[in-house]
Amino acid sequence: MQGKIALEEHFAIAETAGDSMGYFPEPVRTEVRARNADIHGRRLALMDEYGIEMMLLSLNAPAVQAIVDKARAQEVARIANDWLAEQVAKRPDRFQGLAALAMQDAEGAARELERCVTQLGFRGALVNGFSQSADADAVLYYDAPQYRPFWATVERLDVPFYLHPRNPLPRDAHIYDGHPWLLGPIWAFGQETAVHALRLMASGLFDAHPRLQIILGHLGENLPYAMWRIDNANAWIPNRNKWPAKKRIGEYFSANFYLTTSGNFRTQALINAMLEIGTDRIMFSVDWPFENIDHGANWFDACPIGENDRIKIGRTNARRLFKLGSD
């Protein structure tokens, strides 16, 4: 398929070039660094070769979210966003931007998002999971009350928010002790992000801000497969499931979330997601530079789904959500 739009595609700046390296063996790190640093060379050539018309670019992980000094986190986010705006300006027909945000300061994050959308022309934000703060015991999840004004800004600006994975902190990851292979994209990324998303759904956030749209990668971090059980576990027990939100969890999942194919090039998983959330809420992505463009594009172009669904997932859903104009 020609004209695909991919939207979980990353870059790094000097300040974040070392991030994410722990997920890769030493011989691969040089390759990943080179991929992360490139925008207009090899990346663009691969986009041309594999039918990707546009990438929405975002900062690598965990980057800003792992900087415990609030002022420094804000500084790095601004540096990254200004650098990205310069790259997008060179080829706006091929690249658009998603803002990095220092969520350690909810008010500051709202201001930076407003700047990125209204002044730099960015199409939304991508945040790498929970944020750390100078308080070593504080891990900041975005269902907390102090983030409600931030979410009000996101809703007012009418842009999507991509909740991207990161590993749990070592103190919270004892279940992985002795099994480091389970960290990162194999398992821990998805579990950490799924719990964060469920916290948002159950918190009442979407009752207060029903127009918010959150994006999850990797075909939903295993949530489509689990959604029925989340809402119906032990259903014979009265009032078994309680949360502040007014609706069932699955209703928010279907109304306030989009999924991408980033790093999950599996037809059975795609079909499960299509049945659970619908083809209007799934979008193509690769997860470059951490996954290969040819792997994602070749799989998607050949997977046995209807052509109307392929066009929606590959292109038109993203054009609509990110206001990229109609075909």
Q: pLDDT tens digits, the chain, 327 residues: what are they?
A: 999 999 999 999 999 988 877 777 788 888 888 888 999 999 999 999 999 999 999 999 999 999 999 999 999 999 999 999 999 999 999 999 999 999 999 999 999 999 999 999 999 999 999 999 887 668 999 999 999 999 999 999 999 999 999 999 999 999 999 999 999 999 999 999 999 999 999 999 999 999 999 999 999 999 999 999 999 998 888 888 789 999 999 999 999 999 999 999 999 999 999 999 999 999 999 999 999 999 999 999 999 999 999 999 999 999 999 999 877
Q: Which CA distances in Å does 327 have to 134, 234, 285, 312, 319? A: 47, 47, 19, 11, 8
> d(Cα 122, Cα 157) in Å, to the nearest integer?
11
- Do 205 and 151 form a contact (C-beta atoms < 8 A)? yes
Positive or negative CA dihedral for 242, 246, 248, 249?
negative
Distance of CA 103 to the CA centre of its chain: 15
User: Quick one: which of 103, 142, 156, 95 has its CA closest to 122?
Assistant: 95
The reported pTM is 0.97
Question: What's the CATH superfamily of 4-321?
Answer: Metal-dependent hydrolases (3.20.20.140)
Q: Give the pLDDT score at 326.
A: 76
Select which of 172, 287, 309, 327 is catalytic: 287
Is residue 138 within 8 A of residue 132, CB to CB? The reply is: yes
Distance CA 288, CA 32 (A): 9
Picking from 45, 39, 37, the residue whose alpha carbon sits closest to that of residue 21 is 37
Token pair for residue 300? 């998607």
Instruction: Give the domain ranges of the chain.
Output: 4-321
Residue 106 tokens, joined: 């909810």
pLDDT for res 136 = 65
287 is catalytic: yes
